[in-house]
Amino acid sequence: MQEKNIEIKGINPVELFGVNNAKLKHIKSFFPKLRITARGNVLNIAGDEAEMKAFEKKFNLILLHFHKYNAVSENNIDNLMSAEGLKMISDVDGSEILVHGNGGAKITARTVNQKKLVQEVTEKDMVFAVGPAGTGKTYTAVALAVRALKAKEVKRIVLTRPAVEAGENLGFLPGDLKEKLDPYLMPLYDALRDMIPPEKLADMIEFGIIEIAPLAFMRGRTLDKAFVILDEAQNTTSMQMKMFLTRMGMTAKFVITGDMSQVDLPNRQRSGLSYALDVLKDVSEIGVVRLGQNDVIRHSLVKKIIEAFEKVEEEKNKKNQ
């Protein structure tokens, strides 16, 4: 058995390892054959030489991530421990600052597939981003739209969603049509509020520089010189999807985001997102980015919830075959 000390410089050990070493325990779970203990800013590891080298390699990625973002979560640790961990903290392929948010926050693509989404949108005018909740599909797309607007690459941003009820009845909501529909569009407002000061955002919406509207309002229009995002696209019908995609003007960017595990269409209708991905799979000018569990950047529980639901769905599918 070999033994080695690793000195941690420039980082508060409590922030790195968590309260009561919760994050350190999570790191240790990936290396059960090693004895890993922390005393102040010194980490002691003991065990097989090959295991120790593998640990040092991954631990250095965690340190690099912390130095870059001033934080590391259990979910970040999961991602960094994966085979593509090195790519997550690389400074290429979209890891540059997309936009400076409110309070000077630096908004960047933080996972491998988020970086791939940035690259695809840079190179192509229409991109589909498909994946489960919490993978940053909408947020990254909105950041790219705001960046394009600030760089004067487009004259406006158009954000849209289908107003499909997720187990609730739209008719029972109080207020006029706008007040009924705004809750469906709230995630888009939330993302914009992170990136644009409230007063400026209100002015942009008032003057039509940023338009947030339900999908039904897109019919008959040509969307040109605009960055257009269709969110929750899994809840479109095939006809709605065709209608939306054919709104594309000569100088527009279209990003379509959706989660095929959250289809709320009635009567088992086929999702327009699924239909479009099948129909357009051979069109090379259209990009498709598939995000997964390793891209989840919400609370670490979200990843576990997704895994649990996917396991149940797989079991159901096996029984039905």
Query: For the ranges 9-18, 67-76, 125-134, 274-283, which has the lowest average pLDDT?
Result: 67-76
Residue 257 predicted with pLDDT over 90: yes
Residue 256 predicted with pLDDT over 70: yes
Looking at residue 175, its pLDDT comes to 56
**140 neighbors 114 (Cβ within 8 angstroms):** yes
Residue 299 predicted with pLDDT over 80: no
Cα-Cα-Cα-Cα torsion 292, 294, 298, 304, nearest 10 degrees, comes to 90
> Mean pLDDT over residues 164-182, rounded?
53
Tabulate helix, strand, coil % of the chain (nearest 5): 50, 20, 35
| CB neighbour list of residue 212: distance below 8 Å, 6 or more residues apart | 159, 160, 185, 188, 189, 205
Q: Would you tell me which CATH number, out of the four given (3.40.50.300, 3.30.470.20, 3.40.50.150, 3.40.50.40), belongs to the domain 92-320? A: 3.40.50.300
Looking at residue 167, its pLDDT comes to 41
> Mean pLDDT over residues 244-264, rounded?
92
DSSP classification of residue 271: P
Looking at residue 313, its pLDDT comes to 78
> Mean pLDDT over residues 131-137, rounded?
88
Residue 92 predicted with pLDDT over 50: no
Q: Ramachandran region of residue 138, left (φ > 0), alpha (ψ -120 to 50) or beta?
A: alpha
Q: What mean pLDDT value characterizes the chain?
A: 84
Looking at residue 90, its pLDDT comes to 54
> Mean pLDDT over residues 222-228, rounded?
94
**36 neighbors 44 (Cβ within 8 angstroms):** yes
| CB neighbour list of residue 232: distance below 8 Å, 6 or more residues apart | 161, 162, 164, 257, 258, 259, 262
Residue 252 predicted with pLDDT over 90: yes
Query: For the ranges 9-18, 192-201, 214-223, 303-312, which has the lowest average pLDDT?
Result: 303-312
Residue 84 predicted with pLDDT over 70: no
More confidently predicted of 125 and 75: 125
Retrieve residue 262's tokens.
């959250």
CA–CA gap between residue 184 and residue 14 (Å, rounded): 40
What is the residue extent of each domain of the chain?
2-87, 92-320
CATH architecture of the domain 2-87 equals 2-Layer Sandwich (3.30)
CA–CA gap between residue 163 and residue 170 (Å, rounded): 9
Read off the pLDDT of residues 139-158 as tens digits, 9 standing for 90 and up.
999 999 999 999 899 999 99
CA–CA gap between residue 220 and residue 235 (Å, rounded): 20
Query: For the ranges 85-99, 225-239, 262-276, which has the lowest average pLDDT?
Result: 85-99
- The structure's pTM equals 0.67
pLDDT band at 174 (very low <50, low <70, confident <90, very high): low
> Mean pLDDT over residues 279-295, rounded?
91
CA–CA gap between residue 258 and residue 135 (Å, rounded): 11
> Mean pLDDT over residues 226-253, rounded?
94
